[in-house]
Amino acid sequence: MGEQGAAGFPAWQVGQPAATPSATSLQAAPVDLQGLLPLHPQVAAAPLPWRALKLAEAPITAVARAADGYVAAGDAKGAVGVFSADGKRTASAQMESQVLALHFLGEDLLVGEDRGALTRLGPDGATRWQVVIPYEPMPWDYWSEYRSRVREITSGDLNGDGQAEILLSNSDRRVHAFTADGKLLWRAPVEWGIFTGMTPGSFGGKFGLFGGTSRPSIHGRCLIFPADGGRPQALTRPFLVSWSVPSQFRDMRLVDLNGDGVTEIINAVDTNCRQLVVYREDGKVLWDADMAGAAEALAVKGDTIYGGGNSGYVAAFAGASGKRLWACYLGEPVVLLALTAEGRLAAATPAGRVFLVGPGGQLEGRVELGSSVSAVLRPGDHRVGERLLVGTKDGRAIAQ
Ligand SMILES: [Ca+2]
Ligand SMILES: [Ca+2]
């Protein structure tokens, strides 16, 4: 039996304890976890409404989407596939090690591998060029992974000539910049950890590469690298830079939330409190909000910001004021948010479930993916567009 949850949503089924422990008892009574925990919402399963693109048998370890609906997936055994919007496979390639990062550069695909290789593939899957980044240890290399692996790839026009350059986050705790034909432009050290959530944008009227550190990481600040890879500027607030409070940077977006023509910087941080942080460009905190745990994923629609994280909550906020519009408890950690055509928020969980939340915060459905989630769109600019794309342990890319 259940009862209506505190938020008044009928879908919140809260279990009843089998017996109430005596208040005078000095010893804890055995607790019937089936009756008490987890607080798991009950909602009907809906059929899979998205494309399921089968790559191979190994777990998917990286996914990416192109503007025209093309999707790329790579797996733990080095297989790479590209699929058109109608689900047809248009290219295949086999790399030498696990695929960790994918990024579309026009019609080409950049592939980053566990062995530190960066490869540019043409639309037919043929290799245009490949660079293998050697491991060169940095001082304080315990903030690295002690080797060269490609953790993230993005692109942006660093020099304003209209042509994109390649930006890569490596486990050596550096950002590496390459020309589109694979020539190294610069390498920049990252203090302290591995750069994630890479988002090229504009800061103070100039090019800026936004992001932060995660896994490993000590500080939860947002770093902004200039076009030449020089010393980054930082956005932070008290306790996001503290040697006693480790923090991880988990997701970000650049949006003008208050209509003043200047972009706000929205951060999702794994830290003790107020894990959603919105900075103005001048470094002031416009607002911050608590997510009851690490904030792992953001979505933005107009001036509404959605956050999800490992507490099992998703919440919606008014972008200009930070007013919490609603919160919905899903009972599972959230690793990716997307928006459906029906105006629902889709929240993916590692267990292979996507919860569907209505515009007012009501839990309206769930989709079972049939396998656990082994890859999601990487944080930052890859998630702009707010469309679901995850990879599963049984070798499928699920694409909205
Ligand atoms: Ca350029
Ligand atoms: Ca603004």
The number of the ligand nearest the C-alpha atom of 260 reads 2
pLDDT of residue 32: 54
Distance 304 CA to ligand 2 centre (A): 13
Distance 368 CA to ligand 2 centre (A): 38
Distance 385 CA to ligand 1 centre (A): 24
Residue identified by tokens 């910001």 is 305
Distance 361 CA to ligand 1 centre (A): 43
Distance 103 CA to ligand 2 centre (A): 28
109 has a pLDDT exceeding 50: yes
How far apart, in whole angstroms, are the C-alpha atoms of residue 400 and residue 344?
A: 13
Q: 22-26, 83-87, 202-206, 303-307 — which is least confidently predicted?
A: 22-26
The number of the ligand nearest the C-alpha atom of 279 reads 2
- Find the angle CA(274)-CA(278)-CA(279) to the nearest 5 degrees: 125
pLDDT of residue 35: 54
3 has a pLDDT exceeding 60: no
Distance 202 CA to ligand 1 centre (A): 14
Distance 248 CA to ligand 2 centre (A): 25
Distance 166 CA to ligand 1 centre (A): 9
Distance 179 CA to ligand 1 centre (A): 8
The number of the ligand nearest the C-alpha atom of 256 reads 2
135 has a pLDDT exceeding 50: yes
Region of residue 332 (left: phi > 0; alpha: psi -120 to 50; beta: else): beta
At residue 36 the predicted structure's pLDDT band, cuts being 50, 70 and 90, is low
Burial environment of residue 74 by CB neighbours within 10 A (0 to 12, 13 to 18, 19 or more): buried
The number of the ligand nearest the C-alpha atom of 207 reads 1
Distance 96 CA to ligand 1 centre (A): 30
pLDDT of residue 40: 74
Q: Where would I find the H helices in the chain?
A: 33-36
Task: Print burial letters for 382-394: b (CB count within 10 Å at least 16), e (below 16).
Answer: bbeebbbbbbbbb
Distance 199 CA to ligand 1 centre (A): 16
Q: How many residues are listed for the chain in this entry? A: 400
pLDDT of residue 29: 46
Give the DSSP H or E segment for 306. Answer: strand 304-309
- What is the arithmetic mean of pLDDT over 294-323? 97
pLDDT digits (tens, 9 = 90+) for 167-182: 999 999 999 999 999 9
7 has a pLDDT exceeding 50: no
Query: Are the beta carbons of 305 and 297 closer than 8 angstroms?
Result: no
pLDDT digits (tens, 9 = 90+) for 197-208: 999 999 999 999
Distance 262 CA to ligand 2 centre (A): 4
pLDDT of residue 18: 46
Task: Give the residue among 388, 385, 298 at the shortest CA–CA distance from 352.
Answer: 388
- What is the arithmetic mean of pLDDT over 390-395? 98
Distance 297 CA to ligand 1 centre (A): 30
pLDDT of residue 192: 97
15 has a pLDDT exceeding 70: no
Distance 344 CA to ligand 2 centre (A): 26
Q: Any idea what DSSP says for residue 35?
A: H
The distance between the two most distant Cα atoms of the chain, rounded to a whole number of Å, is 75
Distance 181 CA to ligand 1 centre (A): 12
pLDDT of residue 4: 39
- 14 or 153, which is more confident? 153
pLDDT of residue 33: 54
How far apart, in whole angstroms, are the C-alpha atoms of residue 110 and residue 130?
A: 10
User: What is the residue-averaged pLDDT of the chain?
Assistant: 92
The number of the ligand nearest the C-alpha atom of 157 reads 1
The number of the ligand nearest the C-alpha atom of 286 reads 2
Distance 200 CA to ligand 2 centre (A): 17
The number of the ligand nearest the C-alpha atom of 262 reads 2
- What is the arithmetic mean of pLDDT over 374-391? 98
pLDDT digits (tens, 9 = 90+) for 253-301: 999 998 899 999 999 999 999 999 999 999 999 999 999 999 999 999 9
The number of the ligand nearest the C-alpha atom of 280 reads 2
pLDDT of residue 19: 46
